[in-house]
Amino acid sequence: MRVVIQENYEKVSLWAAHYIADKINNHKEDRPFVLGLPTGSSPIGVYKELIRMNKAGEVSFANVVTFNMDEYIGLPKEHDQSYWYFMHDNFFNHLVDMKPENINILNGMAEDPEAECARYEEKIASYGGIDLFMGGIGVDGHLAFNEPYTSLTSRTGVRILTTDTRIVNSRFFGNDPEKVPAKAVSVGIGTVTDSKEVLVLISGHNKARALQATVEGGVSQKWTCSALQMHNGAIIVCDEPACGELMVDTYKYFLDIEKNERL
Ligand code: GLP
């Protein structure tokens, strides 16, 4: 696992955006570059920088197909808290060459959510899998909506949100956890770890325990993000405040190897 420690959120965002743009620009295969994307506050800075680069002609999305991680069940796409709305508002609507038909987001209003999830997995497979999945994590270490004790081999399916997650996400629902949908459709941990590369953004003090569990803890379904330890192409990009629970040795180790990476 690679852990890239940056000073703050802005630098995390710039590092990740440039990493992704480089991957897209260096993709020389005939098939499109397949990019997995998250919602939340963590990726907003990355989206802003990718939009800037796209408008400046530094990266094109014309040959990029995207798959989002998750969606609330029961929110129509026009709802301002649906992840469909979030992605269009914060990213897709601002790109100059993203093709709408290349955007894939789970439908939280599907009559048969399990069938919708099976269709999603098939569609990912039809492109030959995901090249790079960007993610964020919850304070309890959830990756997409894979809450603690979700199987580390799980596939796309229906998820029940924990009370903790509904409380954390209630900031977008008038601070009322009851207004946060209780269920979601989400890619599985296995879906994410099947990707060639997984890049996870972790910023802020409130994510320090989750970062520690991801990097230093054992691989455990209690912290679903810890599955990344078994992935050969996992990169964590984190800021200084998120490193608060790491051992000094761990912190120095990763600074050291990243410094040598640049030599
Ligand atoms: C939600 C999403 C996750 C996201 C997490 C953290 O629960 N389902 O995909 O990673 O929130 O969000 P934030 O980046 O706002 O801390």
Mean pLDDT by 10 residues, the chain (263 residues): 97 98 95 97 98 98 98 96 98 98 98 98 98 96 96 98 94 95 98 98 98 98 98 97 98 93 62
The CA 127 to ligand 1 mean position distance, Å, reads 26
Active site annotation includes 142: yes
Active site annotation includes 256: no
38 Cβ below 6 A of ligand 1: yes
Active site annotation includes 140: yes
Closest CA to 54 of 88, 91, 86: 91
Mutate which of 39, 105, 211 to test ligand 1's pocket (most atoms within 8 Å of Cβ)?
A: 39
For 25, the token pair is: 């620009």
What confidence score (pLDDT) does residue 260 get? 78
For 103, the token pair is: 């955007």
Kindly name the residue from 71, 147, 197, 239 that is annotated as catalytic: 147
Residues 136 and 47 sit within 8 Å (Cβ to Cβ): no
Tens of pLDDT, residue by residue over 185-218, are 999 999 999 999 999 999 999 999 999 999 999 9
Closest CA to 7 of 260, 201, 241, 208: 241
Which secondary-structure segment (H or E) carries 54?
A: helix 44-55
